[in-house]
Amino acid sequence: MDPKVGRMASSLLAFLLLLDGGMFSPSSPPTGLLEKVFQYIDLHQDEFVQTLKEWVAVESDSVQPVLRLRRELLRMTDLAADRLRNLGAHVDLVDAGFQQLPDGQSLPIPPIILAALGNDPKKPTVCFYGHLDVQPARREDGWVTDPHTLTEVDGKLYGRGTTDNKGPVLAWINAVSTFRALDEDLPVNVKFVIEGMEEAGSLALEELVQKEKAGFFSSVDYIVISDNLWVSRRTPALTWGTRGNSYFMVEVKCRDQDFHSGTFGGILNEPMADLVALLGSLVDSSGRILIPGIYDHVAPVTEEEKRTYEAIDLDLEEYRNSSQVKKFLFDTKEELLMHLWRYPSLSIHGIEGAFHEPGAKTVIPGRVIGKFSIRLVPHMNMSVVEKQVKQHLDYIFSKRNSSNQMTVSMTLGLHPWVANIRDNQYLAAKRAIKTVFGTEPDMIRDGSTIPIARIFQDTIQKSVMMLPLGAVDDGEHSQKEKINRWNYIEGSKLFAAFFLEMAKLH
Ligand SMILES: *[C@@H]1O[C@H](CO)[C@@H](O)[C@H](O)[C@H]1NC(C)=O
Ligand SMILES: *[C@@H]1O[C@H](CO)[C@@H](O)[C@H](O)[C@H]1NC(C)=O
Ligand SMILES: *[C@@H]1O[C@H](CO)[C@@H](O)[C@H](O)[C@H]1NC(C)=O
Ligand SMILES: [Zn+2]
């Protein structure tokens, strides 16, 4: 973002390369081809920004189920497919069928792009996953500029989809196109999986991955996803884990209808009182989950892992200020990150059936549903967690001697994901980051759940890496989403350098 950081990075480069075990000869940073590639990307950066502008101009919102927007999504898919064909890639548009809406309507799901460029058996095959759809955005939501007109202010490229995920998809394409434009051999075989329904739950993706396991994906050695953010404005990151999630509903019912507290108050067990007791038994004020056994399978922290948290570029005070939280439960950066990334957490989300409007209605809800979820981490076992939650709630409920009925169900279960950071592609990405940014990456995990990583890893059983390009303040899904020109352009270089490092390591 700050061009000064970039310059500082390159002046640091020679020094860092000296430390890098002779990967380059220290007198010629970076090597000839890389230098040429970087120069090309710098010289053509306005063209790259222009293409991003054209992509941002397509309102490819997959969230609102309306035909007009679906047509935009189809247009976006064609635009990307054309771009890939122009690179010389073989492009398949795989029909993804229809989305059935609750009202009986159905809408087309944009086809999923499967593209391939090169199939030299001597080279590794690296497959990039990305998405072309975006979250809804309207100017009146609080945007200063039109969300579908890419606008540059102080090196920031504002617009919906700039960072999530059109910018990173194009950065990968820019890297490939640079080798093509320079008439240089691509160092790796490249594949693309690009979908248009990520923001709506990646409908049809998992099925496709299953179906193409022995087809399109059989030659894939590595999967790269670039769909999250750094934890800093300055320091690039590599993501090696995400938490899973198990979502619970606990219903307490007396009858379907509500009661008046003047006519029934005092003579029955109120469902809300039961539910509040149940929800109140789940977690204490230090954030510790009170369900017996829940921490039993949580992986112990290793020394190596501990060091990754210590090295991360996070200003706790700035983080606290920007989140407008007076005090977090933990006072050190390391503890905070571990509780976000590698320990489970339990959050209470809401109560269906509760009176929540302003005013003073004297209702006794007859039936209420409490909603909470547990973010899961390695090596928690989801079916064991489900059993523990049910047993705990049964026990708490039975102690109340309530005459109401309680039912507990787990409505969603997504596994956590963790990568092997000693894998070749992590080593290659680290080296590429050092070359482009002159620094070691923050080795980060993500506290939220990104199911695709786990889907790819489980189905194809190949190494999956998340290599984000955007800065922490990019505002994905939010108003004023942006990607810094610096991140976009250096990110294109990063992918190019990554290809070269992969070729060396393979
Ligand atoms: C955080 O906010 C406090 C109070 O407004 C201010 O004094 C401090 O400089 C801020 N720190 C950072 C790092 O932004
Ligand atoms: C999870 O626990 C269940 C029940 O105890 C067991 O059958 C299953 O094998 C476990 N799964 C894993 C991945 O350990
Ligand atoms: C529930 O009932 C048992 C036995 O009938 C009694 O010992 C206990 O005190 C009761 N608990 C509550 C919370 O009313
Ligand atoms: Zn995304």
pLDDT at 446 over 60: yes
Between the CA of 488 and the centroid of ligand 1 the distance, in Å, is 29
Confidence of residue 31 (pLDDT cuts 50, 70, 90): confident
Three-class DSSP category at 9 = helix
Residue 475 CA: distances (Å) to CA of 159, 228, 442: 10, 11, 19
Confidence of residue 322 (pLDDT cuts 50, 70, 90): confident
Residue minimizing CA distance to atom 1 of ligand 2: 381
Q: Is 227 annotated as a binding residue?
A: yes
Residue minimizing CA distance to atom 4 of ligand 1: 321
All residues at 6 or more sequence positions from 270 whose CB lies less than 8 Å from its CB, including other chains: 254, 364, 365
In this predicted structure, what is the pLDDT of residue 171?
A: 98
Between the CA of 380 and the centroid of ligand 2 the distance, in Å, is 10
Nearest-atom index, ligand 1, CA of 317: 13
For the residues 173-187, what does the mean pLDDT come to? 97
Nearest-atom index, ligand 1, CA of 321: 1
256 CB less than 6 Å from ligand 1?
A: no
In this predicted structure, what is the pLDDT of residue 294?
A: 98
Q: On the CB side of 144, how many CA atoms lie within 13 Å of its CA?
A: 9
Structure tokens at 151: 């606008």
Residue 495 CA: distances (Å) to CA of 178, 259, 469, 499: 11, 62, 10, 6
Q: Which residue has the higher pLDDT, 369 or 29?
A: 369
pLDDT at 6 over 60: no
In this predicted structure, what is the pLDDT of residue 451?
A: 87
pLDDT at 5 over 50: no
pLDDT at 205 over 50: yes
Considering only 14-23, 36-45, 241-250, 280-289, which range has the smallest mean pLDDT? 14-23
Nearest-atom index, ligand 3, CA of 401: 1
pLDDT tens-digit readout, 124-170: 999 999 999 999 999 999 999 999 999 999 999 999 999 999 999 99
Nearest to 347 by CA among 371, 323, 377, 383: 371
pLDDT tens-digit readout, 56-103: 999 999 999 999 999 999 999 999 999 999 999 999 999 999 999 888
Q: What are phi and psi of 131, to 5 degrees?
A: -135, 150
317 CB less than 6 Å from ligand 1?
A: yes
Catalytic residue among 198, 212, 270, 481: 198
Q: What percent of the chain has pLDDT over 90?
A: 86
95 CB less than 6 Å from ligand 1?
A: no
Q: Which ligand is nearest to the CA of 399?
A: 3
Q: Is 131 annotated as a binding residue?
A: yes
Structure tokens at 277: 């007791």
Structure tokens at 133: 């759809």
Average pLDDT, the chain: 92
Q: Which ligand is nearest to the CA of 385?
A: 2
The answer to whether 396 and 250 are in contact (CB under 8 A) is: no
Alpha helices in 109-192 (DSSP H): 167-181
Active site residue 270: no
Q: What are phi and psi of 161, to 5 degrees?
A: 90, -5
CA angle 77–166–497, rounded 5-degree value: 115
286 CB less than 6 Å from ligand 3?
A: no
pLDDT tens-digit readout, 470-501: 999 999 888 999 999 999 999 999 999 999 99
CA dihedral 194, 197, 202, 203 (to 10 degrees): -120
pLDDT at 9 over 60: no
Q: What are phi and psi of 239, to 5 degrees?
A: -105, 130
Q: Is 164 annotated as a binding residue?
A: yes
C-beta atoms surrounding 153 within 10 Å = 11
Catalytic residue among 59, 61, 72, 133: 133
Q: How far apart are the first and last CA of the chain?
A: 32
Q: Which residue has the higher pLDDT, 24 or 58?
A: 58
Q: Which ligand is nearest to the CA of 194?
A: 4
CA quadruple 419, 423, 424, 427: dihedral sign: positive
Residue minimizing CA distance to atom 7 of ligand 2: 383
Residue minimizing CA distance to atom 1 of ligand 1: 321
Structure tokens at 221: 């050695």
Nearest-atom index, ligand 2, CA of 384: 2
pLDDT tens-digit readout, 378-421: 999 999 999 999 999 999 999 999 999 999 999 989 999 999 99
pLDDT tens-digit readout, 255-306: 999 999 999 999 999 999 999 999 999 999 999 999 999 999 999 999 989 9
C-beta atoms surrounding 385 within 10 Å = 22
Confidence of residue 30 (pLDDT cuts 50, 70, 90): low
In the sheet that holds 367-376, the strands lie side by side as 345-352, 367-376, 244-253, 405-414
pLDDT tens-digit readout, 213-248: 999 999 999 999 999 999 999 999 999 999 999 999
Q: What percent of the chain has pLDDT over 70?
A: 94
pLDDT at 23 over 50: no
Domains of the chain in start order, with CATH, are 3-242+416-505 (3.40.630.10), 244-298+343-414 (3.30.70.360)
Three-class DSSP category at 349 = strand
- What's the CA gap between 59 and 72, in Å, rounded? 6
Q: Which ligand is nearest to the CA of 165?
A: 4
277 CB less than 6 Å from ligand 3?
A: no
Active site residue 133: yes
Between the CA of 297 and the centroid of ligand 2 the distance, in Å, is 11
213 CB less than 6 Å from ligand 3?
A: no
Between the CA of 407 and the centroid of ligand 4 the distance, in Å, is 35
